[in-house]
Structures are given as C-alpha cells and as structure tokens.
Amino acid sequence: MRLKNKTALITGGANGIGLATATRFAKEGAKVILWDVNDKGNDVVQQLKNEGHEAIFKKISVTNEAEVQKAVNEAFDHFGRIDILINNAGITKDRTLLKMSKQEWDDVIAVNLTGVFNCTQAIAPIMKRQNYGRIVSASSNVAIRGNYGQTNYVATKSAIIGITKVWALELGSYGITVNCIAPGFIQTAMTDAMPEEVRKQSIAHIPIGHWGVPDDIANGYLYLASDEASFVSGICLTIDGGAAR
C-alpha cells in the first residue's frame, strides 16, 4: 500500500474528485481526514469505516481562517500527525467580465484561492516539525489556456500554479514537496450542469475523445502524495486527455 501509515487531509472530499481521492487514499492505507461544507461527508466517512479504514469528517468552510486552524488542531490531536494535504475544494460562478458581479468574483476567490492559503498555512508548521509533508492543490487546464466566462475561476487556478512554485521553494528544506494538478473536463456534478452543446464542443478538443473521470485525478493526487514522488516538487501535472491549448 502506497500510503500506509500516512494521514491525509482532503478538502472538498464529499463529492466528485474529492470523494474518489478519499476512497483511493484509504484503500492505499491512508488515514483520512475529510473536510467539506456538505453533510454528505458523514456518509463518506461512515462507508470508509465500514470497509475497515480510519477516517473522520469535519463540516467546515476553508474560507474561515479560524475554523480551519481549529479543525487542523483537532485533526492533529486525533491522529498525531498530518502527512498529506490535498487542497481540492473549489467552486465555479461563471459569468463574462462585463456581467460578473463583485460577489461572484469574491466568492470564487475566497474558496479556490484564499481557502488553499488558509489550509496550507495552518498545516505547513505541522509538516515542518515532522520534516515531512506532501501538499497538492487543484489548479485547472484553463489556467494555462483561459476559458470564456471564467475570469474569477481562471484567476484562482492560475494563482495556484504560481503559489505552488513559491511554496516548493520555501518549504522544500523541511522535507515538504508542493505540487498541483490541472484537470481538464472531468465528469462531476459541477460539469454535469453544463449545456449539452458546450459538452460536445469540449470533447471535440480532446484528442483522447472523451472526458475524464474523478479517478483519473485521484490517481494523480496519489502519485504526488506518495513517496514515489519524493523528488517531484514545484510542478503542475496536467491531466486533460491532451486537450488543445
């Protein structure tokens, strides 16, 4: 098992990619700390426990700095260490520049960017004391190529690539690697809401000819969180079926 004796904290873990990652990590031997704003996280953790895995759930918004710090302390008290942080929580509120409200801008920035900052800043000191850590955050392939109507989302996902490189420099001497993943179109509840015509157009730009599934991204998270990637830091791994850029 590739994550045996490791403790992994996964944000946005109740659905989609986060759920697939929590399940995969548990099967690979990790003790799982699941955070989400959705109460479904309780069901996910109960299922993991029924399968013989160690897991706990905390309903929390990553945008709340005080809540995050309190939850990190509780998780550390429970397991005694935190080896892996998967900054997976994210939202979209799409609108073209001329129609986007300040609230839509602020909401996406708060979850997708400030949330990553809050979680990483709270957990990095623990990893520093351990002299070991794996931090992996969710970017997106639109950070590289842009996307119509996603000023706020693209801004956050581009920033994730930048701060990943900064943190890799700052934390590397403490045995901590920092990376991110840039998914393409993945079949989740978020993308299910897209109009059918947009879905068809997106597939036309993917050489492999279909969208990915949450497990495709969970596999990437697993690699970067494992000791197999001990010499990999500061990168953005794109998983998008070769989508045209």
Does residue 137 belong to any structural domain of this protein?
Answer: yes
Does residue 2 belong to any structural domain of this protein?
Answer: no
Global pTM?
Answer: 0.96
Answer whether residue 244 shows pLDDT above 90.
no
Span 83-136, pLDDT tens digits: 999 999 999 999 999 999 999 999 999 999 999 999 999 999 999 999 999 999
Answer whether residue 202 shows pLDDT above 90.
no
Instruction: Select the more confidently predicted residue: 190 or 69.
Output: 69
Q: Output the six-digit token pair for 137.
A: 């955050």
pLDDT band at 205 (very low <50, low <70, confident <90, very high): confident
Mean pLDDT of the chain: 95
Instruction: Select the more confidently predicted residue: 227 or 191.
Output: 227
Does residue 110 belong to any structural domain of this protein?
Answer: yes
Q: In which element (H, E) is residue 214 found?
A: helix 214-225
Half-sphere exposure in the Cβ direction for 160 (13 Å, CA):
39
Answer whether residue 182 shows pLDDT above 80.
yes
Q: Active-site positions?
A: 153
The enclosing domain of 211 has a CATH number of 3.40.50.720
> What is the rounded CA–CA span in Å between residue 82 and residue 1?
18
Strand 31-36, strand 55-59: pairing? parallel
Indicate the number of domains in the chain: 1
Does residue 105 belong to any structural domain of this protein?
Answer: yes
Span 137-157, pLDDT tens digits: 999 999 998 999 999 999 999
Contact 163, 117 (CB under 8 A): yes
Annotate 5-17 with DSSP letters as a single string: T-EEEEET-SSHH
Apex 17 CA angle, 206 and 207, nearest 5? 10
Residues, the chain, total? Answer: 245
Does residue 192 belong to any structural domain of this protein?
Answer: yes
Answer whether residue 194 shows pLDDT above 90.
no
Residue-number span of the structural domain to which 107 is assigned: 7-239
Q: Output the six-digit token pair for 230.
A: 């001990």
Does residue 244 belong to any structural domain of this protein?
Answer: no
> What is the rounded CA–CA span in Å between residue 176 and residue 132?
5
Span 35-49, pLDDT tens digits: 999 999 999 999 999
Span 153-174, pLDDT tens digits: 999 999 999 999 999 999 999 9
Does residue 245 belong to any structural domain of this protein?
Answer: no
Does residue 1 belong to any structural domain of this protein?
Answer: no
> What is the rounded CA–CA span in Å between residue 154 and residue 136?
18
